[in-house]
Amino acid sequence: MVTVEDVPSKAYRGVEILLLLPIALYAMLGVGIILLGFGESEAGVMGAVAALGAWWIGGIALFFVSWLLTPFVLYLDTKKLNEADLEWQPSPVLYAVLGLFFGYLMKLHHIYKRHQYVVDWVERDFWWVFVAAGTVLPAILLALAFSVGMNSGTVLPFLLVGLAILTAVPFPLAIYRDATYVRLNSSGWRPNPGNYLNLAVFFFVLAPVAFPITGGYYLVRRHLVIGTV
């Protein structure tokens, strides 16, 4: 079994960070929506503008930074993989070029393929709690917001929508890390963490619908092989 200790690579962690940072930015959107509920106060307006502005500007900045860094981290990590003499021998130059034009998709593909050949380590099993929270809370909170009504004249619906977004944000990282833990500690099921990260990222904007399906299936399967949930 080849592990990350056999193929040490800071570039690999860089790929992970570049994949997850865009999702983390949605936390600012959630905060901004909550503050919009306090729109009658000057502090609420200013806070909402600041949070939503940070989300917008941060997204643009992250896009350009990620676009510039992606070819380098993919090149460096694939080079490390080639030096380890694995069955998978990706071309560093090809990955760098494709990363320049298909950056986010190439990072997702790379993470998925890497986990097929190199096992990562996660020692703690608490990540499933955040998976469970992201599975149920966004849908419940959003349903409550619509039941109250956005025109109710209170801060409550804005608070609920903002919290729905905030509770969804940790889900991609949590299911990615927990799938790594399960893969290490289960002989009956070896999920590819990159596969679950791909699903969580692709369907993040549909979290109230997609996360109950993805997270529900994952947690049931996890319970059958690990028994924690």
Query: In Å, how far are 74, 75, 111, 212 from 105, measured between CA atoms?
Result: 12, 15, 10, 24
pLDDT of 43: 62
Number of domains in the chain: 2
Same domain, yes or no: 80 and 158: no
Q: Are residues 51 and 154 in the same domain?
A: no
Instruction: Tell me: do 198 and 85 sit in the same domain.
Output: no
Q: So what's the pLDDT on residue 50? A: 78
Closest CA to 222 of 191, 194, 197: 191
pLDDT recorded at residue 41? 62
Range of the domain at 77: 1-121
Predicted confidence at residue 44, as pLDDT, reads: 62
CA angle at residue 99 from 17 to 8, to 5 degrees?
A: 50
Residues in the chain with pLDDT < 50? none
CA-based nearest residue to 218, from 180, 181, 175, 177: 175
Q: What is the reported pLDDT for 42?
A: 64
pLDDT at res. 35: 82
End-of-domain residue from the set 65, 86, 121: 121
My answer on whether 113 and 179 are in the same domain is no
Q: Looking at 58, 92, 121, which one is the last position of a domain?
A: 121
Q: What is the pTM of this model?
A: 0.90
Q: Within 10 A of 175 (CB to CB), how many other CB atoms are there?
A: 29
